[in-house]
């Protein structure tokens, strides 16, 4: 079981990722804005990364348009949530932005996965998943 510190660090990464995506930056673009490389941003987002210096957190918070207090508040919120549910909004946004032909292919794959996963297949509706009803899984 993860310690509360590890959960906080994981929440910190998710808060940074959410802020980056909302600003429309790739990891490389965000890293450049924060004075870091893409690899460093990836590690922070997918942590936990213990021992991150405060100046690094300050710089990435500023690049995300957040104060440290806001970043830490968001990290606390994300630390207390189920990781799968936190990723669903990002997945939905990515699906909605895909070209129609590619999105339809991804939806077919998701439906095939649901057939293989009984716990998800037993949801209240057996309708095929689309970007319109995928959010109902959360």
Give residue-wise pLDDT tens across range 64-118: 999 999 999 988 888 877 555 556 667 777 777 888 888 888 888 877 776 666 5
Quote the CA–CA distance of 57 and 94 in Å, as a whole number: 26
Q: Number of H helices and number of E strands within the chain?
A: 8, 0
Quote the CA–CA distance of 132 and 115 in Å, as a whole number: 19
Domain ranges of the chain: 4-79, 83-137
Quote the CA–CA distance of 55 and 66 in Å, as a whole number: 14
What's residue 123's pLDDT? 45
Question: φ, ψ for residue 48 (rounded to 5)?
Answer: -75, 145
Domain 4-79 CATH class label: mainly alpha
Task: Give how far Cα 26 sits from Cα of 42, 48, 54, 91, Å.
Answer: 10, 20, 23, 15
Contact 69, 13 (CB under 8 A): no
The DSSP letter of residue 135 is G
Query: What is the average pLDDT score of the chain?
Result: 80
Reply yes or no on whether the pLDDT at 33 is more than 90: yes
What's residue 6's pLDDT? 87
The DSSP letter of residue 130 is -
């Amino acid at each position: 079981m993860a310690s509360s510190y590890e959960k906080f660090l994981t929440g910190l990464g998710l808060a940074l990722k959410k802020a980056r995506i909302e600003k429309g930056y790739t990891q490389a673009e965000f890293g450049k804005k924060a004075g870091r490389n893409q690899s460093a941003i990836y590690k922070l987002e997918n942590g936990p990364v213990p021992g991150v210096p405060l100046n690094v957190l300050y710089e990435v918070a500023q690049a995300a348009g957040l104060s440290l207090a806001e970043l830490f508040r968001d990290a606390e919120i994300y630390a207390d949530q189920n990781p799968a549910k936190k990723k669903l909004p990002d997945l939905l946004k990515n699906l909605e932005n895909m070209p129609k032909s590619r999105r339809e292919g991804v939806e077919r794959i998701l439906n095939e996965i649901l057939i293989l996963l009984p716990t998800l297949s037993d949801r209240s509706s057996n309708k095929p998943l689309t970007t319109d009803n995928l959010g109902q899984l959360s």
